Amino acid sequence: MDQSEQSDFHMLVGSWHLQSLGITFSDTGERIEQFGPRPIGRMVLAATGRIMFLFGRPDREPPSSLEDRAALFDSMVSYTGTVKMDGPGRFITTIDLAMNPAVRGEQVRLFELEDDRLSIRTPEQTLAIFGNRLLIADLIWLREHN
């Protein structure tokens, strides 16, 4: 890592809580809030390079049927892996454990940091849950202070 990448990395180290999560479809420009207007979530990046994400709907309830249990799977995202910087405003997470095994491997993320507000977005991609339509996801995180 060059000096600017090290600086970017160290500025991201810490604990963050999710403020918003939006999905914008490339074909129509339609924007949805995947987990509603007030999603809940945490992101933690350790100085060692380990990152963990856990976020979802705020109204999740214990399941009372197999259908409820399946719906819970679609109401949350969780994964962990290691992070390496890949140029200014860009990092790659190598996911080694995820609730959904389909997301394992390398995931590119683009970011902007302004004070204690971190914007992370995906490059254009397709997701099966959205009918394999092209989309960009963007997440806004706020730094947690003790």
Which three-class secondary structure state does DSSP give residue 5?
Answer: helix
> pTM of the full predicted structure?
0.91
d(CA 134, CA 43): 25
* In the chain, where the domains are located: 3-143
d(CA 128, CA 36): 19
What pLDDT score does 7 carry?
Answer: 82
User: Which pLDDT band holds residue 25 (cuts at 50, 70, 90)?
Assistant: very high
The tens digit of pLDDT for each residue in 74-132 reads 899 999 999 999 999 999 999 999 998 888 999 999 999 999 999 999 999 998 888 89
CATH 2.40.128 fits 3-143, yes or no: yes
Structure tokens at 85: 């910087």
